Structure 1
């Protein structure tokens, strides 16, 4: 097929490589300029570099709404556009332009977790599985008919980093198979919009620990914000303190959420939960922390005395 590719970061890089490896004629690649956003500096394999290394024309755009881009797409006489991790909406004059329309690859099990950072949100929410969906683009973001979908289970100790590596490895085979289905014929599966959810971009505030959350949710937040993502954090004595490893305590502890309470095993328990005052639920067993200057240490070495609080502000 003669295709154009819209994409960014490692997700887009894997998609473009899949198109090249499958022998498709890639007429044009459109990608975003490099960004200083915390979540866009990681998994940042360059789509532009890969395209240029393969002699493919590249256009850098923040938004796809200029006459030059539309003219190039029309001139290319495309069979298909393939998109992955394109960060803004594509208008219908673009996604309807090719003979077969536009195929989007999204790293969630649509219709759930449309939008941004789906793996992080899914892990925080305790989903039993995550995955990748290939769907046809329409006028609503991540809402078009499904061509193909693959799921992987989420284990009890998995981090978002683990899930990223397992889902990104699905991109190439899903892209290749979805295009084969489009070429040979398939039955589109409409998304059940009653099950849809849509999530915003994550920012620093989304990694700040709320000690009134159920402790199981906080423990998943720590795993969801695994390195190289910005870690889950709180403030201790006016300074940011990142929690890099934690688990649910064995014992039940009561008091005020955020209280630095007691040592257990190799960690230190922080009182947590919406019913912490009743003393019938576990706390968060913090095992490793990282200070604002990047120093990482065992929680037992950092918290030399008990008492005081981890808070949501300096």
Structure 2
């Protein structure tokens, strides 16, 4: 089939690579310009460079809503559009243009975690598995009929970085296999259960600020969700920003006030946490590695030379 691809960052790069290696003919690529957004500067393999290296024409747009692009798409005469990690609304006149519509490839198990940063949100929420969905695009974001869906388990100490690499490996195969389903003439794809749908916003600075009233289990997941190269979860100590790079749920239970720097446990320093911290029935968060405001990374046991004092949300 003649394929136009809308794609961006490493997800788009991996998808385009699979399409170029397939039996399909990639006739045009549409991608976003490079971004300075914290979450778009990482996993930023260039879709444009890969397309140009293979002689595929490239159009760069923030939003695909102008007449010039529409004319280019009509001229390309695609059988199908493939969209991967496209960050803005694709209007109906474009996603309905190809004979077989538009196949969107999204890194969540839809209908849950539509929208942005699905792997981070899923890990934060303790999901047992994550995955990738190939679905036909319609007027609602990430809501069209499911062509294929594949999942991978979430391990007890997995980070978002682990899940990124595990799900990235699914993008090429699910795209090519999804196109095979469409080319076969199938139309009986699976409607999404909209009663189970959830939609998440982009991650921002406020989303990685540590609230010591969260439980130790929730904070452990937050630290693992914000694994490098994602921006690290942070707090403040003595008025200065302190990033928490590694932590775990404490072995013992600790009581007191949330944020209290309390006790050395193995190679970690336990912070009192939780909405019911004063009861002493909850585990603390054993912080094991930190990064200071001036960029120094060091074990928490070296940074916290004495116990006492508090970690706070604000300076």
Q: Which bin holds the TM-score, normalised by the shorter protein?
A: over 0.9
Tell me if 1:25 matches 2:25: yes
Structure-1 residue corresponding to 2:281: 280
How many angstroms does 1:176 deviate by? 0.7
Structure-1 residue corresponding to 2:113: 113
Runs of 4+ in 1 over 6 A off after TM superposition: none
Structure-2 residue corresponding to 1:209: 210
Rounded to whole Å, the distance in 1 between the matches of 2:29 and 2:205 is 31
Rounded to whole Å, the distance in 1 between the matches of 2:295 and 2:227 is 15
How many angstroms does 1:185 deviate by? 3.1
Counting only pairs closer than 5 Å after superposition, residues 1-314 of structure 1 correspond to structure 2 as 1-186=1-186, 187-314=188-315
Aligned residues: CA RMSD: 0.7
Superposition TM-score, scaled by structure 1 size: 0.99
How many angstroms does 1:146 deviate by? 0.1
Rounded to whole Å, the distance in 1 between the matches of 2:33 and 2:173 is 27
Moved more, 185-194 or 296-305: 185-194
How many angstroms does 1:26 deviate by? 1.1
Q: Deviations over 1:30-79 (max 9, x none)?
A: 10000011100100000000010011111110000100000111111110
How many angstroms does 1:308 deviate by? 0.9
Rounded to whole Å, the distance in 1 between the matches of 2:93 and 2:163 is 35
SS in 2 for 1:304: coil
How many angstroms does 1:193 deviate by? 0.5
Q: Mind listing any 5+ residue stretches in structure 2 that lack a counterpart?
A: none
Rounded to whole Å, the distance in 2 between the matches of 1:176 and 1:7 is 15
SS in 1 for 2:312: coil
How many angstroms does 1:23 deviate by? 2.8
Q: Mind listing any 5+ residue stretches in structure 1 that lack a counterpart?
A: none
Rounded to whole Å, the distance in 1 between the matches of 2:285 and 2:117 is 24
Rounded to whole Å, the distance in 1 between the matches of 2:172 and 2:110 is 18
Rounded to whole Å, the distance in 1 between the matches of 2:96 and 2:10 is 25
How many angstroms does 1:239 deviate by? 1.1
Q: Deviations over 1:259-280 (max 9, x none)?
A: 1111111110000011001111
How many angstroms does 1:13 deviate by? 0.4
Q: Deviations over 1:82-133 (max 9, x none)?
A: 0000000100000000000000000000000000000000000000000000
Q: Deviations over 1:182-227 (max 9, x none)?
A: 0013321000001100000001111111111111010000000000
Rounded to whole Å, the distance in 1 between the matches of 2:92 and 2:184 is 24
Superposition TM-score, scaled by structure 2 size: 0.99
How many pairs does the alignment contain? 314
Rounded to whole Å, the distance in 1 between the matches of 2:294 and 2:23 is 48
Rounded to whole Å, the distance in 2 between the matches of 1:220 and 1:295 is 23
